[in-house]
């Protein structure tokens, strides 16, 4: 499944297409098709209003995925910092004139489409860190001085995303950044010290959290305390998951979703809808496909001969996997509800396009795995 043929940097487009990594494209498409089916069911057996739009977005994004993959990795290397700067400016624009929805100011409204810059900023942060650590020697990582620029690249966008407010996306950017620092070779003692500092600062963080964020944590600790209020979402999610049993109730037969007991069934809780209709078997099948995508991405990273590609591919596939883990753990009540969509499955144009851009960059690392990149900032 994994192509190990050595590729020349001057290869033709046809040669690049042959070595694109069609196995990953197939897996991504299959997961997206599961999302289309779930959205069709969420609308009561109708392509509108969600499935039809999601299919159109995916087809457009799939073309973009191929184009991004075919572009030489050297070009992406040069554009890394400009992309980060554009993403950072877009977060400032959101703070100044962004569109408000569901109590948060997270979107830029272009009239024909609304874009959530924080979704693309997650990719930009991984790209910027991959380029920075490509130029920094592994021995240099032992010095805290060389980690300061990395903390700046992580902290600046996180601060703006927190102002929206969007705690879930902020945590995702932080976790992706920490993963990149670990992969780059930072010593373990730094992570231990960081963990201690984080634990000690939790009371301060609690003070600055919004009331709805505090309620989410309290609901996670005791969902039965307010089953018709703050605990309603997770209570209904657990009922739907349990009622699906081993084989599920059948396609379009999920009572919790069809009777509208299950909230946000087309976005954050779409895995619950899928598991209610297809049961444990269907849920495990979807997780199996996600695991294959993760393994494929790790293989691409390990086969890449330059540090930029290894770190970029690894960072993006870990970011994808973190979203999968957090979403499914959230709907099962294992962690507090943080509003994280299930990649390629949940309804949402920006999240779908951002996921496909990420996979396009991973496949670009695969095609251009033997490229020689300069070790400069």
pLDDT value of residue 192: 83
Highest mean pLDDT among 12-26, 53-67, 166-180, 333-347: 53-67
**CB atoms < 10 A from the CB of 238, how many?**
15
How high is the pLDDT of residue 230? 59
DSSP, collapsed to helix, strand or coil, labels residue 334 as coil
In this prediction, residue 41 carries a pLDDT of 94
Most distant CA atoms of the chain, gap in Å: 63
Report residue 84's pLDDT band, with 50, 70 and 90 as the boundaries: very high
Query: Angle 25-55-367 (CA atoms, 0-180°, nearest 5)?
Result: 20
- pTM for the predicted model, two decimal places: 0.88
pLDDT, tens digit, for every residue of 35-52? 999 999 999 889 999 999
Per the model's pLDDT, the better-predicted residue between 278 and 101 turns out to be 278
Confidence of residue 95 (pLDDT cuts 50, 70, 90): confident
Average pLDDT score over residue span 197-209:
74
What pLDDT, in 10s, does the model give residues 235-274? 888 888 988 889 899 998 988 888 788 888 888 899 999 9
Q: How confident is the model at residue 221 (pLDDT cuts 50, 70, 90)?
A: low
Helix (H, G, I), strand (E, B) or coil at 136: coil
Query: For position 219, what pLDDT does the model report?
Result: 66
Which backbone phi and psi does 40 adopt, to 5 degrees?
-60, -40
Q: What is the mean pLDDT of residues 150-171?
A: 87
Mean pLDDT of the chain: 85
> For position 167, what pLDDT does the model report?
78
Which stretch of 201-205, 225-229, 247-251, 252-256 has the lowest confidence by average pLDDT? Answer: 225-229
Per-residue pLDDT, 376:
56
Average pLDDT over residues 349-364: 94
Cα 74 to Cα 7, 77, 85, 305, distances in angstroms: 14, 5, 18, 13
Long-range contacts of 62-68 (CB under 8 A, 24+ apart): 62/25, 62/29, 62/356, 64/353, 64/356, 64/357, 64/360, 65/25, 65/28, 65/356, 65/357, 65/359, 65/360, 65/363, 66/17, 66/20, 66/25, 66/360, 67/360, 68/357, 68/360, 68/361, 68/363, 68/364
- Highest mean pLDDT among 7-11, 261-265, 287-291, 328-332 belongs to 287-291
Query: At 71, which helix (H) or strand (E)?
Result: none
192 Cβ contact list (under 8 Å, min separation 6): none
Instruction: Tell me the angle at which helices 307-331 and 270-303 cross, rounded to the nearest 10 degrees.
Output: 160
Of 184-188, 299-303, 346-350, highest mean pLDDT: 299-303
Percent of the chain exceeding pLDDT 70 equals 87
Hey, what are 44's tokens? 């009561």
DSSP string, 267-333: TTTHHHHHHHHHHHHHHHHHHHHHHHHHHHHHHHHHH-SSHHHHHHHHHHHHHHHHHHHHHHHHHTT
Q: Report, as an integer, the average pLDDT of 86-112.
A: 76
Identify the pLDDT of residue 3.
46
3-state secondary structure of 184: helix
Q: How far apart are CA 265 and CA 160, in angstroms?
A: 28
| Among 178-187, 271-280, 309-318, the least confident range | 178-187
- What local confidence, expressed as pLDDT, does residue 57 receive? 93
pLDDT at 86: 94
Measured CA to CA, the distance from residue 3 to residue 303 in angstroms comes to 9
Tokens 């927190």, residue located: 162
Give me the mean pLDDT over the 149-164 stretch: 90
Token look-up 């209904």 returns 236
Angle at 291 between CA 271 and CA 250, to 5 degrees: 35
Q: Is residue 5 very low, low, confident or very high in pLDDT (cuts 50, 70, 90)?
A: very low
Whole-angstrom distance, CA of residue 232 vs CA of residue 285? 27
Q: How far apart are CA 312 and CA 131, in angstroms?
A: 8
Give residue 8's pLDDT band: very low, low, confident or very high (50, 70, 90): very low
The DSSP symbol for 354 reads H
User: Would strands 114-115 and 99-101 be described as parallel, antiparallel, or unpaired?
Assistant: unpaired
- Residue 240 CA to residue 276 CA, distance in Å, equals 5
């Amino acid at each position: 499944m994994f192509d190990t043929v050595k590729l020349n940097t001057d290869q033709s487009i046809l040669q690049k297409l042959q070595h694109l990594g069609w196995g990953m494209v197939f897996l991504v498409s299959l997961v997206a098709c599961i999302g289309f089916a779930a959205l069709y069911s969420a609308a009561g057996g109708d392509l509108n209003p969600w499935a039809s739009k999601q299919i159109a977005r995916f087809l457009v994004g799939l073309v973009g995925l191929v184009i991004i993959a075919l572009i030489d990795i050297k070009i992406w290397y040069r554009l890394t910092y400009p992309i980060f700067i554009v993403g950072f400016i877009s977060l400032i624009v959101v703070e100044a004139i962004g569109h408000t929805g569901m109590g948060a100011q997270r979107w830029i409204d272009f009239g024909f489409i609304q874009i959530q810059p924080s979704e693309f900023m997650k990719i930009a942060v991984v790209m910027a860190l991959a380029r920075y650590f490509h130029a920094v020697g592994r021995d240099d990582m032992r010095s805290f001085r060389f980690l300061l620029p990395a903390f700046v690249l992580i902290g600046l966008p996180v601060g703006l995303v927190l102002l929206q407010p969007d705690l879930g996306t902020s945590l995702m950017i932080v976790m992706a950044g920490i993963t990149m620092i670990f992969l780059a070779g930072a010593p373990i003692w730094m992570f231990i010290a960081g963990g201690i500092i984080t634990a000690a600062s939790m009371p301060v963080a609690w003070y600055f959290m919004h009331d709805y964020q505090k309620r989410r944590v309290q609901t996670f600790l005791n969902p039965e305390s307010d089953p018709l209020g703050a605990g309603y979402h997770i209570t209904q999610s657990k009922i739907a998951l349990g009622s699906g049993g081993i084989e599920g109730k059948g396609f379009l037969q999920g009572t919790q979703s069809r009777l509208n007991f299950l909230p946000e069934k087309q976005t954050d809780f779409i895995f619950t809808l899928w598991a209610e209709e297809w049961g444990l078997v269907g849920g495990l099948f979807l997780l199996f496909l996600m695991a294959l995508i993760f393994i494929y991405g790790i293989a691409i990273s390990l086969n890449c001969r330059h540090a930029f590609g290894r770190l970029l591919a690894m960072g993006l596939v870990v970011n994808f996997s973190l979203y999968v883990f957090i979403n499914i753990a959230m709907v099962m009540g294992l962690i507090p509800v943080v509003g994280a969509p299930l990649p390629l499955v949940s309804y949402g144009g920006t999240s779908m396009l951002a996921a496909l851009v990420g996979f396009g960059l991973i496949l670009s690392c695969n095609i251009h795995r033997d490229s020689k990149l300069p070790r400069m900032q």
